[in-house]
Amino acid sequence: MLTGKQKRFLRGVGHSLNPVITVGKGEITESLTRETDEALEHHELIKVKILESCLMDRHEVAEELAAACHADVAQVLGRTILLYRKAKEPKLELPKGK
């Protein structure tokens, strides 16, 4: 679970990132989950773009994808989600929580 300070830090880092994963009308499938998992393993912090054709609520997509990949939702802004999962060899050093 991320603290407010950690989420704020991740939002700042993630601002310049381009979306790596796109959720369309196929919504959340096993292959999308696998692809997201691999992206998180490689990048640690990723942006996910939700297309207009996706019928699911954006917050529902964020929670389901995060749960499936054992990640944390750092931000849901418009149709863009920022996901974070600490890597085995971390690239980002988060601010200390309480």
What percent of the chain is helix, strand and coil (3-state, nearest 5)? 40, 20, 40
Do residues 12 and 47 lie in contact, with contact meaning Cβ atoms separated by under 8 Å? no
pTM, rounded to two decimals: 0.91
Return d(Cα 96, Cα 34) in angstroms, integer: 30
Give domain status of residue 95, yes or no. no
User: pLDDT tens across 43-74, in order?
Assistant: 999 999 999 999 999 999 999 999 999 999 99
User: Which pLDDT score is estimated for 89?
Assistant: 83
SS3 18: coil
User: pLDDT tens across 34-50, in order?
Assistant: 999 999 999 999 999 99
Give domain status of residue 16, yes or no. yes
User: pLDDT tens across 5-22, in order?
Assistant: 999 999 999 999 999 999
15 C-beta neighbours (distance < 10 Å), count: 11
> Which domain CATH number covers 10?
3.30.110.60
Give domain status of residue 25, yes or no. yes
User: Which pLDDT score is estimated for 97?
Assistant: 66
Closest CA to 52 of 79, 33, 19: 79
Give domain status of residue 97, yes or no. no
| Structural domains in the chain (count) | 1
Full residue range of the structural domain in which residue 13 is found:
4-84
